[in-house]
Amino acid sequence: MKKQFAVMALLLLAMNSFNASAQFGKKINLGKALQAGKDAVQAITLSDADIAAMSREYMVWMDEHNPLTKPETEYGKRLEKLTGNIKEVDGMKLNFGVYEVVDVNAFACGDGSVRICAGLMDIMTDDEVMAVIGHEIGHVVNTDSKDAMKNAYLRSAVKNAAGATNEKVAKLTESELGAMAEALAGAQYSQKQENAADDYGVEFCVKNNIDPHAMAKSLTKLSELSSGAAESSYVQRMFSSHPDTAKRIQRATAKADSYTKK
């Protein structure tokens, strides 16, 4: 039986993300982090290098806390069939993995890591899975994920911290990584960001010889799932702030049509 997601995540899908019925394995306890001022936490400037390092730490933590499927499993073989020929996007090297959890979720991180939950693979066709992957990669290419990571760090590792050390970003502790995962689980992208990621998802399909209408089909499927889903779920976070879901589907369909009718 599949385990539940030990932590969030869309970062980012993210399309702002799926079934978050998963619970954290232990209570999050934030330790000391950074404080830019004596009496109040101020904004910390994070460089691209800081974000990249943070993303790598985060993915190591995620892979340690969630069951990655083996290459010889059904999910592993399907993932290889779908993504085996996709090594990089826009100069960013990619690595793929499947978490054997029930969550309907997927996300991509700034270090090029793409993770798909088994629950999503169970309900999506191959083309729809690839459209979702393209959408998530779009959030990374468009820097949405980098911004989400920065905001999650400031919310989780800084907001409740006491006792400043300096303004240099230190290596994240176990509790800080867990808290950041929790913050990322609640992250939401704007309508503009989602539209741009939808566009990227369609274009990703076209570039990889996949039905470009798979983006609209995956959105339709997620929209149907959102009714009755928990408020913390990926589909609820994805659609609750975007009541005009039908417009997104129509928009993705129109973009796909622009390719197929040429």
The C-alpha R_g of the chain, in whole angstroms, comes to 18
The residue annotated as part of the active site, out of 136, 167, 176, 194, is: 136
Tell me if residue 74 is catalytic: no
Distance between CA atoms of residues 85 and 103, nearest Å: 26
Ramachandran bin of 16, using left for φ above 0, alpha for ψ from -120 to 50, beta for the remaining angles: left
Looking at residue 101, the DSSP 8-state letter turns out to be B
C-alpha distances (whole Å) from 255 to each of 47, 90, 200, 207, 225 are 35, 21, 10, 14, 23
What lies within 8 Å, CB to CB, of 113 at 6+ separation is: 55, 59, 94, 95, 97
Distance between CA atoms of residues 28 and 182, nearest Å: 9
Query: What residues are annotated to the active site?
Result: 136
